[in-house]
Amino acid sequence: MILLDQAEFALRTGKMDERICEVYGCASGSEQLSEYRGRLLHVADGFSSTFGRNDEVELFSAPGRTELGGNHTDHQHGNVLAASVNLDIVSCAAPNDSMLVRIQSEGYPPDEIDLTDLTPHPEEVNKTAALIRGVAAAAHKQGYEIKGFDAYMTSNVLSGSGLSSSAAYETMIGVIMNQFFCEGALTAIDIAKIGQYAENIYFGKPCGLMDQMASSVGGIVAIDFESESEPKVCRVSYDMSTSEHSLCIIDTGGDHAELTSDYAAIPREMGEIAGAFGKTVLREVEEAEFLRAIPSLRRQYGDRAVLRAMHFFAENRRAVAEKEALQKGNFERFRQLVRRSGRSSAMYLQNVYAGVNPEKQDMSIALALAENILEARGAVRVHGGGFAGTIQAFVPNDMLGYFKTTMESVLGKNACHVLTIRPAGGVVLMA
């Protein structure tokens, strides 16, 4: 740990620049470096003013994530391709010699959690308090004595952006607890699993493991969830800046509120199809056997469930092919696969709009507009869970200005976020 004033001095004098560039993938002397340095100084100052402490602290970062391939395959033990992005949560934190976790997230009411009670609290469902308590409970179950700490956080991972702000938050809490109370023994995969447990059991939202894994591990990662307890994680070495395309996440203006049932229906219906073959997930089902059974499956489970299963089988193969394309440096092959993924999500997975309100189709409008602008170039697809929120586009650099301006003329100013893939996951920035 480092005294707060020494941490601020190291940031102001550039002593932390190399570490910041290593984590965020930015260039020395760049405008981005100055922005990242400024955010870290801001949370250090926020910690001091909030908690009245100027003693030893540590600085942390946990990134948002973008799904590159494998739309709704993780919960069926399939393959996914994901990456951490340059938008993140940063935190200044220190143990407080109590059993209270006190967190001030900028722009939100403070959280104070008593860790002497690690049972789920129904009143905390869908609240950050549930994630804090859930992460602590999961770490405690693994034999670690988790105690209290103070933390001041700020985030530019927009809530509801499809960049998994909740997974970034879980990763942040996990990294802090690992550093302070677990002697750094938890791996990035361990922290991801702990985050998923907190979100499923305490936060009350069903989710796979992709979001947490991408945020915790970092970089471009290919994940095979065939074994849920021991997923295979492969770092993919590819510099997206060499592709002459920019990664854009476009906020369509849709609202995630009241959509939990729509999200939950996807794994439920896929599970029903798997159950018809005596299996629990589609990864365990032979595709040829599924195809032969389509007539009876339609009668028993309906067409949507069958279409969603068809999406899974094709998307699972695509995620592997996308990984292989990037490993070979073949961005054109990757781009074509992304386009097919977008088509499959819209037609077969059907997570572009909620069926209860077909008059409101923010995501469909955004996809149609992006395809109209890009024509045969670039690629666009549903991003993340779907139904509302964001879409993803790979835009040729020579079209980026026009693309962003045109999209925002319909969807609103700052709807199009131009992101970069950062090489690091959840990390201790300064200890």
Residue 258: is its pLDDT beyond 70? no
pLDDT at 358: 85
pLDDT at 143: 96
Q: Could you tell me whether strands 379-382 and 220-224 are parallel, antiparallel, or unpaired per DSSP bridges?
A: unpaired
pLDDT at 263: 84
Domains and CATH numbers, the chain: 2-238+422-430 (3.30.230.10), 240-419 (3.30.70.890)
Residue 259: is its pLDDT beyond 90? no
Identify whether the C-beta of residue 114 lies closer than 8 Å to the C-beta of residue 98. no
User: Which of 319, 385, 336 is closest to 82 using CA atoms?
Assistant: 319
* pLDDT tens for each residue of 345-387: 999 999 999 878 888 899 999 999 999 999 999 999 999 888 8
Distance CA 23, CA 297 (A): 48
Report the chain's mean pLDDT, rounded to a whole number. Answer: 94
* pLDDT tens for each residue of 155-214: 998 766 667 788 999 999 999 999 999 999 999 999 999 999 999 999 998 777 888 999
Residue 323 CB-density burial (10 A; 0-12 exposed, 13-18 middle, 19+ buried): buried
pLDDT at 160: 62
pLDDT at 15: 96
Percent of the chain at pLDDT > 70 equals 98
* pLDDT tens for each residue of 18-62: 999 999 999 898 999 999 999 999 999 999 999 998 899 999 999
User: Which of 154, 137, 144 is closest to 41 using CA atoms?
Assistant: 154
